[in-house]
């Protein structure tokens, strides 16, 4: 055999790389496109800044010899991993290649994912996992399970150190769904499905007939289960959401989110004076308040259609990232219930882990009464909000817009849960309960003895409201720092966040507290 020249070697290398880059072949890539999906490498190109991609372990191969697998090539072993830049900042990532054995995950595939994750950990950079896989590679048997377990373990190691974002862009079934579940945010496309047990297993076990979409489509996993944080129309949209989300986040838990030197103006926002309707029972959209406070009215809502009585998401005030938690009076009057408590608590924990200040807008009549809530464990779930806020050491700024009643007032980051600044609007009603209910109890005898009970009830309700359902009693007790003209809220919040950016709060050392779960 003739000795290879340098040129031969270069040609061989180029050919090998071209072959690997083609994954399972052009026909399978075409099938991917026909299904409205990008290929694994096209997704990476969409994600990263041009020419910033450095690939890891491109030549990796499985070692499986069972079921005809011996010597069967699996380009990049079905997952492309590496590092690159998004808007000039490094991220590590993995992108499963469905054209190679259905993106199934065996020993080496999983090792590659873990290698990329460990590089995230070493360098303090976010990790992005683009999922499109038939799950554990069946031919590799328990080696696949071992591989997945290593991914889960790494997910937990990274948790709270670097942001982890999962994109679900194809099937994500069985135990494989637990890797995304261990990450901070899940973005799912409408083409993808995510479930633990699929429709055929459900039919066998329970007899129920469901479609994959009903079971694990993006809408289902957002609206009913709250597993998903963002629904994307397609792969490009999902990648766009991922990039926008990362723009609000720091690279790791030791850094602050990027401070954007913006062209924003910090001045009065007259529109805020008229957001709250005259009738205290009338609803309004709390997003109108949020948009009046954040820069450029730019608010990135998280879990938009899950537990809609609570609105959470990211914005910036004077260029500084904030995590916003707000009761939504438009949905169930902004009541706190099981799902909204879980939604808020999780979001607060994320922000605290990554040094993102908390900005809370309060308008809630209380916790939702009812047997289903009590039996569902509202005590345990509501306690998560109390725990998350109390444990949070990032700057905490609360703005009480209207109703702030009872335990829900406390839960929404009251002064005594460690809020660094509490502002109230003149419409704020900070009270142990609503004036109607309170008057019924406090003035029960007087109302019963009155000739015109309705008139007496109205009079005593007014008396109670004038005494307690205003921000002035709370102001006199220093539970409120200032009562603001709503139009001044943006200025007050910006000032508070600027000075509080230097906040340091030390707590006693412990292994960890026990957050109610």
- Considering the candidates 141, 175, 319, 437, report the single residue annotated as catalytic: 175
69 counts as binding ligand HXC under rule CB under 6 A: no
155 counts as binding ligand HXC under rule CB under 6 A: no
**Annotated catalytic, 71?**
no
In whole angstroms, the minimum distance from the beta carbon of 161 to ligand HXC comes to 23
Output the CA torsion 367→298→158→37 (10° steps): 110
Q: Are strands 79-86 and 89-96 parallel, antiparallel or unpaired?
A: antiparallel
Roughly what angle, to the nearest 10 degrees, separates helices 453-468 and 435-442? 110
Q: Which residue has the tokens 């906040």?
A: 503
Q: Which residues pair with 82 in a beta bridge?
A: 55, 93
- Considering the candidates 141, 160, 174, 418, report the single residue annotated as catalytic: 174
Provide the CB-side half-sphere exposure for 194 (13 A, CA): 27
182 counts as binding ligand HXC under rule CB under 6 A: no
**Annotated catalytic, 238?**
no
Spatial contact of 147 and 62, defined as CB atoms under 8 Å apart: no
Residues contacting residue 168 through CB under 8 Å, at least 6 positions apart: 131, 180, 186, 187, 188, 189, 192, 194, 218, 228
Name the token pair of 321: 């990232």
148 counts as binding ligand HXC under rule CB under 6 A: yes
175 counts as binding ligand HXC under rule CB under 6 A: yes
In whole angstroms, the minimum distance from the beta carbon of 18 to ligand HXC comes to 21
In whole angstroms, the minimum distance from the beta carbon of 135 to ligand HXC comes to 3
Name the H helices within 415-470: 435-442, 444-449, 453-468
In whole angstroms, the minimum distance from the beta carbon of 72 to ligand HXC comes to 10
**Annotated catalytic, 170?**
no
Count each helix (H run) and each strand (E run) in the chain, helices first: 20, 16
Q: Which is nearer to ligand HXC, 27 or 451 (CB)?
A: 27
**Annotated catalytic, 216?**
no
In whole angstroms, the minimum distance from the beta carbon of 252 to ligand HXC comes to 27
176 counts as binding ligand HXC under rule CB under 6 A: yes
166 counts as binding ligand HXC under rule CB under 6 A: no
What is the distance of C-alpha 122 from the center of its chain?
A: 24
State which of positions 78-117 bind ligand HXC (CB under 6 A). Answer: 101-102, 104
Candidate list 22, 121, 138, 483; residue touching ligand HXC; CB under 6 A: 138
134 counts as binding ligand HXC under rule CB under 6 A: yes
Active site residues: 174-175, 407-408
Residues that bind ligand HXC (CB under 6 A): 101-102, 104, 134-139, 145, 148-149, 171, 173-176
């Amino acid at each position: 055999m003739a000795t290879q020249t340098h040129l031969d070697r270069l040609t061989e290398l180029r050919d090998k790389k071209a072959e690997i880059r083609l994954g399972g072949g052009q026909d399978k890539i075409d099938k991917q496109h026909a299904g409205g999906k990008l290929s694994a490498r096209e997704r990476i190109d969409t994600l990263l800044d041009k020419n910033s991609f450095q690939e890891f372990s491109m030549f990796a191969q499985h070692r499986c010899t069972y079921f005809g697998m011996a010597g069967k090539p699996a380009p990049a072993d079905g997952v492309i991993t590496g590092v690159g830049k998004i808007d000039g900042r490094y991220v590590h990532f993995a992108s499963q290649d469905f054209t190679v054995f259905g993106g199934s995950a065996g020993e080496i595939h999983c090792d590659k994912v873990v290698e990329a994750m460990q590089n995230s950990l070493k360098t303090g950079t976010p990790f992005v996992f683009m999922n499109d896989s038939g799950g554990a590679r069946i031919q590799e048997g328990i080696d696949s399970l071992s591989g997945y377990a290593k991914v889960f373990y790494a997910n937990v190691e990274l948790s709270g150190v670097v942001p982890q974002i999962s994109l679900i862009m194809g099937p994500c079934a069985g135990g494989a769904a637990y890797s995304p579940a261990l990450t901070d945010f899940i973005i799912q496309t409408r083409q993808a499905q995510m479930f633990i047990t699929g429709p055929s297993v459900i039919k066998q076990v329970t007899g129920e007939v469901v479609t994959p979409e009903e079971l694990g489509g993006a809408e289902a996993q957002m609206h009913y289960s709250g597993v998903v944080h963002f629904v994307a129309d397609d792969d490009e949209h999902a990648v766009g959401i991922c990039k926008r989300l990362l723009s609000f986040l720091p690279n790791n838990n030791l850094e602050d989110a990027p401070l954007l030197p913006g062209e924003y103006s910090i001045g009065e926002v007259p529109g805020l004076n008229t957001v709250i309707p005259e009738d205290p029972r009338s609803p309004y959209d709390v997003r109108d308040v949020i948009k009046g406070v954040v820069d450029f009215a730019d608010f990135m809502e998280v879990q938009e259609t899950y537990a809609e009585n609570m609105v959470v998401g990211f914005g910036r005030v004077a260029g500084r990232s904030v995590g916003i938690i707000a009761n939504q009076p438009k949905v169930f009057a902004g009541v706190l219930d099981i799902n909204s408590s879980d939604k808020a608590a999780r979001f607060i924990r994320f922000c605290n882990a990554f040094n993102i200040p908390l900005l809370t807008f309060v308008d809630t009549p209380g916790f939702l009464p009812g047997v289903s809530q009590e039996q569902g464990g509202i005590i345990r779930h509501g306690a998560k909000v109390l725990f998350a806020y109390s444990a949070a050491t990032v700057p905490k700024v609360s703005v009480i817009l209207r109703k702030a009643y009872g335990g829900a007032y406390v839960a929404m980051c009251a002064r005594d849960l460690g809020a660094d600044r509490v502002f109230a609007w003149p419409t704020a009603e900070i009270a142990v309960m609503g004036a109607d209910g309170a008057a019924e109890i406090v003035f029960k005898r007087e109302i019963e003895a009155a000739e015109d009970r309705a008139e007496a009830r109205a009079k005593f309700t007014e008396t109670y409201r004038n005494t307690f359902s205003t921000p002035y009693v709370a102001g006199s007790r220093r539970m409120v720092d200032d009562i603001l003209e709503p139009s001044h809220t943006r200025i007050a919040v910006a000032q508070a966040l600027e000075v509080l950016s230097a906040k340091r709060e030390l707590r006693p050392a412990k292994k960890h507290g026990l957050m109610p779960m």
